[in-house]
Amino acid sequence: MKGAKVRIGPIISRLKQQYPKAKCSLTHRNPLQLLVATILSAQCTDERVNIVTKELFRKYKTARDYANADPRMLEQEIRSTGFYRNKTKSIISMAQDLVEQHGGEVPQTMDELVSLHGVGRKTANVILGNAFGIDEGIVVDTHVKRISNRLALTDQKDPEKIEQDLMQLIPKSDWTLWPHLLIHHGRSICQARAPKCELCTINSLCPARSP
């Protein structure tokens, strides 16, 4: 993590220039839709989730709709996202929590969100940052984990420890944007097996760059 505090400003600046349109790629119009989409996105591409939710959101419009859903029918509707049985249980239980504890509305605090069935800190960060504009933490997915380690911004492997390291370095106003920047960068340049270091806009700031 040597020199991380000095490098983080230029790293963020260059990535913002490279990916000016970086944002949440899960299609949604309200916090509930984003919450459902985020649960579906586990071990699934955002592209596939968006295909599934296009029809799903037409049928299920409120938390009560999901809470009262027929499990077998919902399983078939989300089947192509994988792990559909567990996801169905999570969505229905989460929606029941919303109806019973929050009047059917998605809460706006970390503690309330993680108390919902199927919602962990990562999902809560997605909702707070992208649905409510609240920078409570940093989403750590596979791209964020890989690239943050390559950049020597952390030496941790555990997502929550990585998040804590990043929160010490990255300005709070960029906490929500950071994972979107790294997701774009990870897909196009800093790939897992064959990073394109020669094309990387931040290669001069990266200790792991190829010669």
List residues with catalytic annotation: 122, 141
Of 58, 86, 59, 81, residue with least CA distance to 71: 86
Report the alpha-carbon distance of residue 122 to residue 120 in Å, rounded: 6
Report the alpha-carbon distance of residue 10 to residue 14 in Å, rounded: 6
Report the alpha-carbon distance of residue 139 to residue 117 in Å, rounded: 19
Of 64, 30, 28, 58, residue with least CA distance to 46: 28
- Surface-to-core class of residue 114, CB atoms within 10 Å of its CB (0-12 exposed, 13-18 middle, 19+ buried): middle
